[in-house]
Structure 1
């Protein structure tokens, strides 16, 4: 795994979303990279705060409004193109 790839794993590491091999490689990298160490620590703190966030129940009418509005939205066809030809 390239060093550039390892720098992109800090978020996944903080979320415990790496495979065993990726985690081991990242932890070896982390031992010598102050930038990744700080970023991983910040991501871990942020995820802890998110885990403590209070959930708010949506208004009872929200579900009905969303289900009604979704019927007025045109779907994008597979491949991300537009539904109309130019």
Structure 2
């Protein structure tokens, strides 16, 4: 059963790669996504530097990705999750 998921993942990633390579603005998309992730990492580092108790969010790939994709609502989500879980 797990081979079917791996085949589905590989085929969907290769189709996504083909679509991105055929479009003209794929490099701009990659730059924009990388910039968002870097800025999200700096924002999380700055929040850890402030050392406020409710803004003490762990810096890991999941939180950086969440903040990079969702932006300010993602920060609210991470703060709410951190407040309710810990």
* TM tier relative to shorter chain: 0.3 to 0.5
More helix by share: 2
Bigger Rg over Cα: 1
Q: TM-score, normalised by structure 2?
A: 0.36
Q: TM-score, normalised by structure 1?
A: 0.36
